[in-house]
Amino acid sequence: MKFSDFDLKKTADGLLPVIIQDATTLKVLMLGYMNEEAFDKTVATGQVTFWSRTRQALWTKGETSGHFLNVVAMFPDCDADTLLIQARPVGPTCHRGTIACFDTPESEGFIRTLAKVIRGRHAEMPEGSYTTKLFIKGVKTISKKVGEEAAETVIEAVDGNRPRFIYETSDLLYHLLVLCEEMGVTLSDLESELRLRHS
């Protein structure tokens, strides 16, 4: 993909509108603009760089805050006059300190929220947290808990006890998320594997 591939006749300033989307949650984070130099720098560095219309200068998102946008994939729209970039944000995207510049409701689902909480526990290791205790004990203990919860889930399924099945399955999912974090595996990694199998 080259900047010259885009049709920018409709834009008065010849700038390419760029929508940034979180590659994991698919939440729209912000809108910016690129000239050819900003586009080429984004491709070369893997970090989103815009053309600032206010300052009339290149602006790599995160160059002062450290909140970079690391490019995962880039998609032109059907008319080749807008670019969608899926990125992994480092910290909040908006200057207000919020995840995104758009105040849309969170739609990623609680399992992804829980995975983020577990990731935070792993990074901060707060004292007194059950999750912290699991990480301290390590992969063998966490794996054992996954096995125990899987067995209890199966027992409740065989017994036909729906409320207990939900309870035990929730325990299983939580411990599995902890194990995934310990192993450095994300929900996106699992989705990619499942997508490959589906295709």
Q: Are 68 and 75 in contact (CB under 8 A)?
A: no
Residue 105 placed within a domain: no
Residue ending a domain, among 60, 89, 118, is: 89
Residues 121-174 have pLDDT tens digits of 999 999 999 999 999 999 999 999 999 999 999 999 999 999 999 999 999 999
For residue 177, the domain's CATH number is 1.10.287.1080
Most confident of 2-6, 22-26, 160-164: 160-164
Measured CA to CA, the distance from residue 30 to residue 80 in angstroms comes to: 19
Asked if 52 and 127 sit in the same domain, the reply is no
Residue 96 placed within a domain: no
Residue 102 placed within a domain: no
Asked if 79 and 116 sit in the same domain, the reply is no
Asked if 10 and 54 sit in the same domain, the reply is yes
pLDDT at 83: 96
Q: Are 20 and 90 in contact (CB under 8 A)?
A: no
Task: Give me the DSSP letters along 53-84.
Answer: TTTTEEEETTTTTS--EEEEEEEE-TTSS-EE
3-class SS at 17? strand
- How many structural domains does the chain have? 2
Residues 31-41 have pLDDT tens digits of 999 999 999 99
Residues 41-87 have pLDDT tens digits of 999 999 999 999 889 999 999 888 889 999 999 999 999 999 999 99
Q: Residue 61: which residues within 8 A CB-CB, separation 6 or more?
A: 32, 47, 48, 49, 50, 67, 68, 69, 93
Asked if 16 and 78 sit in the same domain, the reply is yes
User: SS3 helix, strand, coil % of the chain, rounded to 5?
Assistant: 45, 20, 35
> For the whole model, what pTM was predicted?
0.60
What is the span of the domain harbouring residue 58?
3-89
For residue 48, the domain's CATH number is 3.10.20.810
Residue 98 placed within a domain: no
